[in-house]
């Protein structure tokens, strides 16, 4: 791979991608983001943050806006905005495709709100206003306190402080602070809601379980609604407006749901959920008196308010974690929920009392990925396995193509058993190997699972688990490997067992024993775990490593142990670049050793790690090896020199990384992020000065990529070389490498072949009959052809200007003796020189022009000069084939003149001798070259 260069487009492609029950159309997902980087002097030289994918929601509620267009047949447009940490995403609910991605807010987003065209997000000490994904303004906290829940209230923006001590009232248009309300020390605000038809009044819930009605214009407290049980109050977690005026729903931390009439202060009804606290409430707005509730354990429940709050349905395990947002779409039986498990789901009720069924959803990993690997050779998709026990296929190009590989009908089983889906999934994946060569024919992915004796197969094209399960006899599966041809899968166990299965039939084909030495003698049985397993590109060699620090080389076909290498330290993983035959050995002594599979010798030792090495990956051309370690640093080593050429530190530890087969992106997974981060390869865009980095040099810290990219101007500014420019020795090819060689011209072959066959070409293109004279014009005045009618008066003018005509004729006759540019350049050269300038001009002429110039050499001086030019060029050993073609035409045209004039005979003899000498040299050089090539080939 060429030197890596810089492209400052922030963001890493995140693996946790989306899936949908109803396949969404391709989304316009173009989010690419910038992240906080250090000063330019400390910017990583080889990789720049590019994009982060896979985040859908985070731990804060989403915002939803329903736009109803004009017209009786027009359908409403539903947009959903979700928080992804420090930025946000807007989705089109109809197809669950990405519409906009917000930029980095600089702090964790605590709340979101939407209007028709604008989005408001509270982050840190300000509320940021966005329009079409771009920041257009902000509302600042006067005391720099962190802001929390927000509410758009007419022309005002209401914001609660995150600590619940006060509320700020801003003018929505001028962004100025209008009022500030400070609550009593015994009242800590948690929620805010505007009751319908209540002018200038908002209802505020508290940590103490009380509700207070405030007038935001006069900053006065109207009424306080105490908790029903003051001795054991429960904090208010949510407040929502019901379809009935004066009636609101209130959810509490203890799971209680109360429907209150705030006009009279009466309790209308009360319910309670049994599995956690109330995380969300939503009243159905299309007629049926239905209340939906969500719990902190991820369950959804619907309540029939017409029958005193009787529970209708409970959907347990609807989300894997706490629900953070819940809302009915106005006028539709459609319920939308979001959760901290990185998903947004749409639930459809086919009838007023029907059980909500999932309609569409967008999701990703809800636990950090632990193992990521590029799939295929086009660099457009990544396989990711996370702590949530799922295997996902993530598209780097378009996130709507991403999905989770199915493990069966787990949702129905989980509902029947009363457990979550995660409890029924296979154990966490610890190793992934794939080959897309035969992906259309059979299973192409094999995985190893934690503390499991079975390796499982997957088929990406069908998005499901495969039918084969490869079980070892003793111990657990430690590592897996799919051969380059895609026909076989090898499995290594914790007891030293290595077995191979056929992926098409699922039958076992071979087993490799490490209990025999290379010479055939038996040795003591090894009980060390197999930590690495790889095969070469041609299925000739199988390489296995064990925890005791030994590397075994097996013959793929005979399973014989061919060679063994003992290292002085334990081996944790192996990584092979099949194109170059280089094997990266990760060792427990914090050293990565490179072994040449052909020679079976250690060729490089890469040091400098300050913590345990977690993962290593080769660049596609084997030029670099990139490694991540427990010291939260990603290092890049130059393999030819064995030197560290780039290193940068991230805020969280990168647990796994993979390099794109096309060389454009480095993907990383981090210990506290559910996404996969893409880093752009700077070598794709500009030159980077590479130099050796000493171990004692400070490693810069670089912010992780997020979901929103830089502006184009910023991206272009980021494409620049970092550090001192690297010295580049620009090689210019000389006109002739050495005088002992014969140099050909750069003329195309068709040029001099056309010159040799020009007469034949002219005869072939000759017209079959002579052009006919035009018929006489019917009008007696001759005209000149053109756009405008003009009469031809040249005959009349010619009679008056006979004297001038004769003068013009004499000048034309005289001008015929003027020399052409060809003859001027020819006579300008030194007779004993090499005629370099003349031949450069001659080679630039078209064949027809050159032929005409050669035929125009009529004087003896010109013929003599041209003979000298041919002799000089042959002596210089240059332009051999061009000289042969030109000399052929020259002798065929002027051969009779050269014979008839004795003064030219001497130069003709010199030309003959020089031509014979050069032809002999050419035959000798060609014969020598052919003999040398034959000797090297062994023929």
Q: What is the 3-state secondary structure (H, E, C) of 5-20?
A: CCCCCCCCCCCCCCCC
Residue 847 pLDDT > 50:
yes
Residues 331 and 209 in one domain: no
Residue 253 pLDDT > 80:
yes
Instruction: State residue 544's pLDDT score.
Output: 96
Strand order in the sheet with 256-261: 236-241, 247-252, 256-261, 266-272
Q: Express as a percent the part of the chain with pLDDT over 70.
A: 83
The mean pLDDT of the chain is 82
Residues 174 and 237 in one domain: yes
How many domains, in total, are found in the chain?
3
CATH number for 160: 2.130.10.10
Establish if 929 belongs to a structural domain.
yes
Residues 239 and 306 in one domain: no
Residue 875 pLDDT > 70:
yes
Contact 683, 1 (CB under 8 A): yes
Contact 340, 366 (CB under 8 A): yes
∠ CA 222-226-231, nearest 5°, is 155
Instruction: State residue 713's pLDDT score.
Output: 40
Residue 1 pLDDT > 50:
no
Domain containing 175: what range? 54-294
- Tens of pLDDT, residue by residue over 400-409, are 888 999 988 8
Q: Is 650 helix (H, G, I), strand (E, B) or coil?
A: coil
Residues 323 and 286 in one domain: no
Instruction: State residue 629's pLDDT score.
Output: 95
Cα–Cα distance between 640 and 593 in angstroms, integer? 13
Q: Point out the least confidently predicted range of 282-291, 439-448, 727-736.
A: 727-736
Distances (CA, A) of 778 to 493, 774, 781, 782, 783: 104, 12, 9, 9, 11
Tracing tokens 């005869």 back to the chain, one arrives at 763
Contact 219, 171 (CB under 8 A): no
Residues 200 and 272 in one domain: yes
Cα–Cα distance between 566 and 213 in angstroms, integer? 77
Q: Point out the least confidently predicted range of 73-82, 404-413, 600-609.
A: 73-82
Establish if 759 belongs to a structural domain.
no
Cα–Cα distance between 551 and 514 in angstroms, integer? 10
Residues 144 and 198 in one domain: yes
- Highest mean pLDDT: which range of 7-16, 592-601, 853-862: 592-601
Instruction: State residue 855's pLDDT score.
Output: 85
Instruction: State residue 789's pLDDT score.
Output: 61
Q: Is 205 helix (H, G, I), strand (E, B) or coil?
A: strand
Cα–Cα distance between 528 and 546 in angstroms, integer? 6
Residues 247 and 334 in one domain: no
Structure tokens at 379: 């660099």
Establish if 135 belongs to a structural domain.
yes
Establish if 201 belongs to a structural domain.
yes
CA dihedral 328, 333, 336, 337 (to 10 degrees): 90
Residue 932 pLDDT > 50:
yes
Establish if 487 belongs to a structural domain.
no
Residues 316 and 276 in one domain: no
Domain boundary among 294, 327, 345: 294
Q: Express as a percent the part of the chain with pLDDT over 90.
A: 45
Instruction: State residue 67's pLDDT score.
Output: 56
How many other C-beta atoms lie within 10 A of the C-beta of residue 504?
14
Residues 206 and 316 in one domain: no
Domain boundary among 308, 339, 363: 363
* Predicted confidence band of residue 924 (pLDDT cuts 50, 70, 90): confident
Instruction: State residue 432's pLDDT score.
Output: 96
Establish if 837 belongs to a structural domain.
yes
Average pLDDT estimate for 381-395: 93
Residue 814 pLDDT > 70:
no
Structure tokens at 254: 């203890």
pTM for the complete prediction?
Answer: 0.69
* Predicted confidence band of residue 95 (pLDDT cuts 50, 70, 90): confident
Strand-pair partners of 729 = none
Expressed in angstroms, the distance from the first to the final Cα of the chain is: 35
Residues 284 and 184 in one domain: yes
- Tens of pLDDT, residue by residue over 656-712, are 999 999 999 999 999 988 889 999 988 777 777 778 888 777 888 888 887 765 443
Instruction: State residue 632's pLDDT score.
Output: 93
| Residue with more model confidence, 753 or 120 | 120
The full DSSP string for 620-652 is TTSSEEEEEETTSEEEEEETTTTEEEEEEE-SS
| Residue with more model confidence, 196 or 754 | 196
Domain boundary among 332, 363, 394: 363
Residues 837 and 923 in one domain: yes
Residue 939 pLDDT > 80:
no
Residues 60 and 152 in one domain: yes
Establish if 607 belongs to a structural domain.
no
Establish if 471 belongs to a structural domain.
no
- Tens of pLDDT, residue by residue over 626-648, are 999 999 999 999 999 999 999 99
């Amino acid at each position: 791979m060429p030197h890596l260069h810089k492209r400052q487009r922030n963001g890493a492609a995140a693996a946790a991608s989306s899936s949908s029950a109803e396949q969404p159309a391709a989304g316009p997902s173009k989010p690419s983001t910038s992240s906080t980087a250090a000063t330019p002097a400390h910017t990583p030289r080889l990789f720049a943050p590019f994009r982060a994918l896979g985040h859908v929601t985070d731990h804060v509620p989403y915002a939803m806006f329903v736009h109803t267009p004009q017209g009786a047949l027009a359908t409403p447009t539903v947009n959903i905005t979700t928080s992804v940490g420090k930025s946000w995403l807007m989705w089109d609910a109809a197809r669950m495709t990405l519409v906009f991605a917000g930029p980095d807010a600089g702090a964790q987003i605590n709340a979101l709100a939407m209007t028709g065209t604008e989005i408001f997000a509270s982050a840190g000490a300000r509320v940021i206003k966005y329009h079409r994904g771009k920041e257009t303004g902000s509302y600042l906290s006067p005391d720099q306190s962190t802001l929390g829940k927000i509410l758009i209230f007419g022309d005002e923006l209401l914001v609660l402080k995150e600590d619940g001590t006060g509320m700020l009232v801003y003018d929505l248009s001028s962004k100025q602070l209008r009022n500030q309300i400070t609550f009593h020390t015994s009242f800590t605000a948690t929620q805010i809601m505007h009751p319908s038809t209540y002018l200038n009044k908002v209802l505020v819930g508290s940590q103490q379980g009380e509700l207070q009605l405030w007038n935001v214009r006069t900053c006065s407290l109207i009424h306080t609604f105490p908790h029903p049980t003051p001795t054991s109050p429960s904090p208010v977690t949510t407040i929502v407006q019901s379809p009935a005026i004066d009636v609101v729903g209130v959810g509490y931390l203890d799971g209680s749901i109360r429907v209150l009439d705030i006009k009279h202060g009466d309790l209308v009804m009360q319910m309670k959920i049994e599995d956690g606290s109330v995380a969300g409430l939503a009243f159905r707005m299309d007629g049926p008196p239905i209340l939906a509730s969500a719990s902190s354990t991820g369950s959804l429940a619907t309540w029939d308010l017409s029958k005193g709050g009787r529970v209708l349905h409970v959907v347990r395990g609807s989300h894997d974690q706490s629900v953070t947002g819940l809302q009915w779409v106005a006028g539709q039986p459609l319920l939308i929920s979001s959760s901290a498990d990185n998903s947004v789901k749409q639930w459809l009720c086919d009838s007023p009392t029907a059980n909500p069924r999932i309609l569409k959803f967008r999701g990703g990993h809800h636990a950090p990925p632990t193992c990521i690997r590029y799939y295929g050779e086009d660099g457009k998709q990544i396989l990711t396995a996370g702590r949530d026990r799922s295997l996902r296929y993530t598209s780097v190009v378009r996130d709507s193509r991403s999905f989770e590989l199915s493990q069966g009908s787990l949702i129905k089983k989980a509902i029947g058993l009363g457990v979550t889906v995660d409890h029924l999934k296979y154990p966490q994946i610890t190793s992934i190997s794939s080959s897309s060569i035969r992906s259309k024919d059979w299973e192409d992915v094999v995985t190893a699972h934690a503390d499991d004796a079975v390796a499982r197969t997957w088929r990406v094209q069908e998005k499901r688990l495969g039918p084969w399960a490869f079980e070892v006899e003793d111990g657990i599966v430690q590592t897996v490997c799919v051969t380059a041809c895609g026909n076989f899968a090898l499995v290594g166990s914790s007891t030293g067992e290595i077995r191979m299965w056929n992926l098409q039939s699922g039958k076992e084909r071979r087993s490799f024993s490490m209990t025999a030495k290379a010479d055939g003698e038996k040795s003591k049985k090894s009980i060390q775990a197999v930590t690495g397993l790889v095969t070469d590109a041609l299925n000739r060699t199988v390489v296995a490593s064990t925890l005791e620090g030994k590397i075994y080389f097996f013959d793929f076909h005979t399973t014989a142990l061919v060679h063994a290498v003992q290292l002085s330290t334990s081996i944790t993983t192996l990584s092979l670049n099949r194109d170059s035959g280089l094997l990266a050995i990760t060792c427990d002594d914090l050293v990565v050793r490179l072994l040449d599979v052909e020679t079976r010798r250690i060729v490089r030792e890469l040091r400098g790690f300050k913590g345990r090495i977690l993962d290593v990956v080769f660049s596609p051309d084997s030029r670099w090896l990139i490694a991540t370690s427990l010291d939260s640093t990603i290092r890049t080593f130059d393999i030819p020199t064995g030197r560290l050429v780039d290193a940068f530190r991230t805020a969280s530890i990168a647990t796994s990384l993979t390099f794109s087969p096309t060389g454009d992106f480095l993907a990383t997974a981090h210990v506290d992020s559910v996404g996969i981060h893409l880093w752009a390869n700077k070598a794709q865009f500009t030159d980077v000065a590479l130099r050796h980095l000493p171990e004692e040099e400070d490693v810069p810290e670089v912010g992780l990529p997020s979901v929103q990219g830089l502006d184009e101007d910023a991206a272009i500014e980021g494409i620049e070389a970092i550090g001192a420019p690297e010295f580049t020795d620009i090689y210019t090819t000389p006109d002739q490498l050495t005088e002992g060689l014969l140099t050909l011209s750069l003329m195309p072959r068709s040029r001099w072949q056309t010159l040799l066959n020009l007469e034949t070409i002219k005869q072939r293109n000759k017209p079959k009959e002579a052009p006919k004279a035009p018929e006489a014009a019917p009008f007696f005045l001759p005209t000149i052809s053109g756009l405008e009618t003009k009469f031809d008066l040249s005959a009349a003018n010619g009679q008056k200007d006979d004297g001038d005509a004769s003068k013009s004729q004499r000048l034309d006759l005289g001008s015929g003796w003027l020399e052409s540019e060809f003859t001027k350049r020819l006579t300008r050269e030194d007779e004993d020189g090499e005629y370099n300038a003349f031949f450069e001009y001659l080679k630039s002429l078209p064949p027809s022009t050159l032929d005409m110039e050669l035929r125009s050499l009529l004087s003896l001086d010109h013929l003599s000069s041209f003979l000298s030019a041919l002799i000089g060029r042959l002596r210089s050993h240059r332009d051999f084939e061009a000289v042969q073609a030109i000399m052929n035409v020259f002798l065929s045209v002027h051969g009779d003149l050269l014979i008839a004039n004795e003064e030219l005979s001497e130069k003709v003899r010199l030309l003959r001798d020089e031509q014979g000498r050069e032809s002999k040299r050419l035959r000798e050089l060609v014969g020598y070259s052919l003999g040398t090539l034959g000797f090297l080939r062994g023929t």
